[in-house]
């Protein structure tokens, strides 16, 4: 016998229908599967906005940190330069020598080993202090280790002057190097046996020692305040 196959399709109503809560659960499950596949556009926009806000806050904090670091480094460099200037002045004065300078005819200028005066505002004015310093490194060993040194306050700067020779000609110019910048005031006083005077050698005296006992320097730096330092003279002689 031949087996007959039926081509008839099942009637739609032949399957049981899902009703009520069961159908709702199936619909909810389908939506859940769809949501698990990615984010909505609104969620992406919110995430990007939150990320942008935190990035801006972090960037602002980084900029402030870098600015503070730059200011700290600038302050450190500034005070290091000030300390270096004071140490250099102290070193120069501690090596002062009793060696007067001579004129062109080889005669000694009296009381010229150490000269000090108030600030001379003229363009070609004399230094605040000028003296003979020892301890200069001499490579050949056949030249005296002496040099004429000076300090002068001019145009808001404290300049260190170094002459190429001790007994100089009238037109001999010193080498000028700034050691302090933004100087508003500069004063020097000189001590002799406990008394402070504003000139050296003292006016009206002929028997004063060649060198003062100490030098007091007062300097006012712009925006930093006023500083006073006292240096012994010729202590390393």
What are φ and ψ of residue 86, in 5° steps?
-65, -40
> By percentage, how much of the chain surpasses pLDDT 90?
42
Q: What number of helices (H) and strands (E) belong to the chain?
A: 2, 10
The set of residues, in sequence order, having a beta carbon less than 8 Å from that of 53 and lying 6+ positions away, is none
pLDDT digits (tens, 9 = 90+) for 136-155: 766 665 556 899 999 999 99
Would you identify the CATH topology of the domain 93-232? Pili subunits (3.10.610)
Mean pLDDT of the region 103-126: 83
The set of residues, in sequence order, having a beta carbon less than 8 Å from that of 101 and lying 6+ positions away, is 108, 109, 112, 113, 132, 148, 166, 167, 168
β-bridge mates for residue 175, sequence order: 162
From 65, 56, 53, 189, select the one nearest 119 (Cα to Cα): 189
Q: Give pLDDT, residue 42.
A: 80
Q: Give pLDDT, residue 1.
A: 42
Q: How far apart are the first and last CA of the chain?
A: 140
Q: Give pLDDT, residue 25.
A: 53
pLDDT digits (tens, 9 = 90+) for 168-204: 877 888 999 999 999 999 999 999 988 999 999 998 7
Q: Give pLDDT, residue 24.
A: 52
Q: Give pLDDT, residue 110.
A: 82
Measured CA to CA, the distance from residue 154 to residue 197 in angstroms comes to: 22
Question: Residue 29 above 60 pLDDT?
Answer: no
Pairing of strands 114-116, 214-221: unpaired
């Amino acid at each position: 016998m031949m087996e007959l196959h039926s081509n008839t399709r099942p009637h739609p109503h032949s399957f049981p229908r899902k009703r009520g809560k069961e159908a709702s659960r199936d619909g909810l499950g389908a939506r859940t599967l769809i949501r698990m596949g990615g984010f909505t556009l609104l969620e992406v926009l919110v995430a990007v906005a939150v990320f942008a806000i935190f990035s801006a806050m972090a960037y602002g904090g980084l900029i402030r940190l870098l600015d503070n670091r730059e200011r700290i480094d600038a302050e450190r460099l500034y005070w290091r330069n000030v300390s270096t200037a004071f140490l250099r002045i102290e070193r120069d004065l501690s090596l002062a020598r009793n060696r007067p300078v001579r004129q062109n005819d080889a005669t000694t200028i009296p009381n010229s080993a150490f000269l000090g005066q108030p600030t001379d505002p003229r363009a070609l004015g004399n230094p605040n202090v000028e003296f003979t310093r020892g301890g200069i490194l001499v490579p050949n060993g056949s030249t005296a280790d002496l040099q004429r040194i000076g300090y002068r306050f001019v145009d808001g700067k404290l300049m260190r002057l170094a002459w190429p020779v001790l007994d100089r000609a009238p037109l001999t110019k010193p080498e000028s190097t700034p050691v302090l910048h933004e100087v508003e005031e500069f004063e020097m006083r000189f001590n002799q046996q406990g008394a402070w005077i504003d000139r050296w050698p003292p006016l009206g005296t002929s028997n004063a020692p060649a060198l003062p006992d100490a030098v007091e320097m007062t300097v006012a730096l712009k925006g930093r305040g006023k500083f006073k330092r006292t240096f012994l003279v010729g202590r390393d002689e």
